[in-house]
Amino acid sequence: MKTVATFEDLNLPSWAVCAIEYGDLSGLEAGEDQEILNWMESFELQPGQSLVFSYGEESFFSSSPEFGLPGDCIDCTATILES
């Protein structure tokens, strides 16, 4: 696998991690699933590419998360890989 791009220091809402990692959209508020999908689409993956996430260990308050309202976030790095 070859690294195409890396996006560091993303303030990802804590409530979105389970949905992103496991596709589990249960328990989300109305519209939150679409916020996640819109954000994921912003990476504009090409055929043969995949998106991999790594997360920090502690959550923190952020007034400017990647999407959604200010709140509890976790530091995230997104990497686009190509086969």
Q: What are phi and psi of 54, to 5 degrees?
A: -130, 145
The per-residue pLDDT string of the chain (83 residues; one tens digit each, 9 = 90 and over) reads: 999 999 999 999 999 999 999 989 888 999 999 999 999 999 999 999 999 999 999 999 999 999 999 999 999 999 999 99
pLDDT digits (tens, 9 = 90+) for 48-71: 999 999 999 999 999 999 999 999
